[in-house]
Copies of this chain bind each other. A is one copy, B any other.
Amino acid sequence: MRKGDTQEIRRLNRRAILAHLRRGPLTRADLSRLTGLAKSAVSRLVDELLQEGLLEEGAFTSPPVGRPGTLLHLRPGARFALGAELGVEETVLLALDWRGEVLWAKEWSHPREAGPRERLERLLQEILPHVPGPLGLGFTLPGVVVEDRLLLAPNLGWKNLDLRPLLSHFPLPTALENDAKASALSEVFFHGEANLAYLVLSTGLGIGVVSDSRILRGAGGAAGELGHWLGQGHKPCACGRVGCLETELGLGALLEHYRSLGGKAGALEALLQQAKQGEALALEAIHHLGEALGRFLANLAVAYDPARVVIGGKAAEFFPYLEQSLRQSLAAHAFLEAHRSLPVQPSLYGHLPRRWVGLASFW
């Protein structure tokens, strides 16, 4: 149970102020109204934040009547952190400032079968020139994570790894998180979404669920692993079982289906190009996936009832071609009226994951 001592309150209120300012400049009076804090309390906290260089005063408002207010905004670059995505094929490292702007990014692939040790050592080399500076480094990977231990990452082929010894070599605070959960957390952090499901759909499928502004973890960190919900399929899954939804909805199945229709593509990228050129077989295969996804989203809606769904991972690039069949299928299969028009959108940031794990915890 929380201690609730008075410092804790101050920290909470500081955070509340910063959270509001992350969505745009506001005056002290605005903040007082938004947070419910007394004007005096806001003044004190803002003074402190100005002093620390986290905030800046900017332009004045010009209300129809009354004294103009002073707009406050976050000082750009005052805080930033690193995010590292350990994907199946490559590693992406990026720096984000606290408004969610990408300061820089770097990406590299690695030898097949590279283990966690090699991959983290390479990463360590990459970040050393940037340290000190960042508040911390957040790692994401497609697997079940609990307290800096990796339980299982079928698509990486990793299992039961305690990463704490490796992480301790990094000369800055680190945080480890599942990729979908990290993505969902970023949406909360940068856009204040309170009920959201973030799909990371590439080879695998993972869901990051935010409910009531909190990430859903469950007891062992496996909540949201709907990619491993057992459907009725018969294909073997990387996890060793048979019929996981990810074998039907994953992009591997898309490629396979395309080929079974007679299409020729060595990789997903080629299939995407075909779709962009309007090739009928490619569009058919993608529509087929869209239908399955729409039905899946109807199920997702009864499981978590999000207010919005974001589709990330490689599938985001296919979204324009998926969209129509997906929405139709979702509307046709929805349980509640409200789910028919559930907002679904692709992740906005292209292939750059905007995953800033644990940033809040670095503050």
Contact A226 B303 (CB under 8 A): yes
Question: How many chain A residues touch the partner (CB < 8 A)?
Answer: 57
Chain B residues positioned under 8 Å from A229 (CB to CB):
299, 302-303
Whose C-beta in chain B lies nearest to the C-beta of A4? B9
Of the listed residues A218, A225, A333, the one surrounded by the most CB atoms of chain B closer than 10 A to its CB is A218
Contact between B333 and A1 (Cβ–Cβ < 8 Å)? no
| Contact A19 B36, CB 8 Å, known A228-B335, A336-B220 | no
Pick the most buried of A36, A239, A302: most chain B CB atoms within 10 A of its CB: A302
Judged by a CB distance under 8 angstroms, whether A95 is at the interface is no
Are B221 and A305 interface neighbours, CB within 8 A?
Answer: yes
Q: Does A35 contact B (CB under 8 A)?
A: yes
User: Which chain A residues in 232-260 approach chain B with CB under 8 Å?
Assistant: 232, 239, 241
Q: Which A residues from 30 to 87 make CB contacts under 8 A with B?
A: 34-37
**Contacts from A to B (Cβ < 8 Å):** 1-6, 8-9, 12-13, 16, 19, 34-37, 144, 151-152, 194-195, 211-212, 214, 216-226, 228-232, 239, 241, 295, 298-299, 301-307, 333, 335-336, 338-339
Q: List 21 A-B contacts (CB under 8 A).
A: A2-B36, A5-B9, A6-B9, A9-B9, A152-B336, A194-B219, A195-B218, A211-B223, A212-B217, A217-B305, A218-B305, A220-B305, A220-B307, A224-B303, A225-B303, A226-B302, A229-B299, A229-B302, A230-B295, A239-B335, A241-B335
Q: With contacts A5-B9, A211-B218, A220-B336 known, what are 7 further pairs, Cβ within 8 A?
A: A2-B12, A9-B9, A216-B216, A221-B305, A222-B335, A224-B303, A239-B335
